[in-house]
């Protein structure tokens, strides 16, 4: 019991110490006319996302802004995304808090990296290529440490969440696992705090978080995370990349 209390105390201390670790100190945000941070607003119109049908077939493009704007009826354009779950070699999972400057789900806690493949050079970007690009940008991980062979494409998840009623999500999310010891230097425009959480401490650590968790991370947590985390040593055997899951909670 004493050891467990000490462990939790150390984790609490560690979390506070790493709350604002980022590539640069957090600077006051410069806002556009809509109240959005300038870099985030620029990405909304610059990034071209991939529209898909319910079978994840590419059917067209739209800006990131168009893909996340909630319509009057609550609809959001269905588009392709990815979510990376990062583990170190000990099996601890990387957990981050999204920057308060993010347009969607600011200050929410989530898994390591959640973003979109883009339409680049007149063609859809590959998922692993997009994941490496964003992990380098958001987490500061050098590209030479992001070996494409270390990614495991676990499955796809189709979900819809209206967010705050203005900005939301409707994605077919490609779930990727990546396990390696990498150098992390987060970008403060994207991430405000982070830590690696041991599996044995995860359930007790969640109630100590100072904000909600993202809907996609929560779905994986409820429906698949324990199974996959318990089996990191044989994770490729559990991969079902051909499937598109629609998780439904029992009432």
Supply the residues annotated as catalytic: 114, 171
Bridge partners for 93 per DSSP: 87, 197
User: 83-108: string of b/e by CB count within 10 Å (b at 16+)?
Assistant: bbbbbeeeebbbbbbbbebbbbbbeb
Sign of the CA dihedral running 69, 74, 79, 84: positive
Alpha-carbon distance of 110 to 91, in angstroms, equals 17
Question: Do the bridges between strand 119-120 and strand 113-115 make them parallel or antiparallel, or are there none, so unpaired?
Answer: unpaired
- The pair phi, psi for residue 69, each rounded to 5°, is -80, 125
The region that residue 190 occupies, defined by phi over 0 for left and psi between -120 and 50 for alpha, beta otherwise, is alpha
Alpha-carbon distance of 91 to 230, in angstroms, equals 9
Whether 193 and 209 have beta carbons less than 8 Å apart is answered as no
Instruction: Quote the longest CA-to-CA distance of the chain.
Output: 59
Per the structure block, which two tokens stand in for 173? 């999310």
Bridge partners for 158 per DSSP: 172
């Amino acid at each position: 019991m004493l050891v467990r209390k000490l462990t939790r105390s150390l984790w609490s201390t560690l979390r506070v110490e790493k709350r604002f670790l980022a590539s640069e100190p957090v600077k006051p945000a410069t806002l556009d006319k809509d109240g959005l941070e300038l870099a985030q607003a620029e990405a909304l119109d610059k990034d071209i996302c991939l529209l898909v049908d319910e079978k994840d077939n590419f059917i067209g493009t739209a800006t990131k802004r168009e893909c996340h704007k909630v319509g009057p009826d609550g609809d959001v354009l269905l588009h392709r995304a990815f979510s990376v779950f990062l583990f170190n070699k000990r099996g601890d999972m990387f957990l981050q808090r999204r920057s308060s400057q993010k347009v969607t789900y600011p200050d929410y806690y989530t898994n390591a990296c959640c973003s979109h493949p883009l339409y680049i050079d007149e063609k859809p970007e590959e998922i692993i290529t997009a994941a490496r690009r964003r992990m380098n940008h958001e987490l500061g991980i050098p590209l030479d440490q992001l070996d494409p062979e270390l990614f495991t494409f676990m499955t796809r998840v189709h979900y819809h969440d209206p967010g705050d009623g203005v900005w939301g999500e409707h994605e077919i999310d490609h779930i990727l696992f990546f396990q390696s010891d990498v150098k992390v230097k987060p970008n403060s425009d994207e991430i405000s705090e982070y830590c690696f959480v041991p599996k044995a401490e995860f359930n007790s650590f969640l109630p100590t978080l100072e904000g909600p968790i993202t809907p996609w991370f929560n779905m994986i947590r409820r429906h698949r995370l324990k199974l996959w985390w318990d089996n990191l040593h044989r994770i490729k055997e559990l991969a079902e990349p051909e499937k598109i899951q629609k998780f439904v909670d029992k009432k």
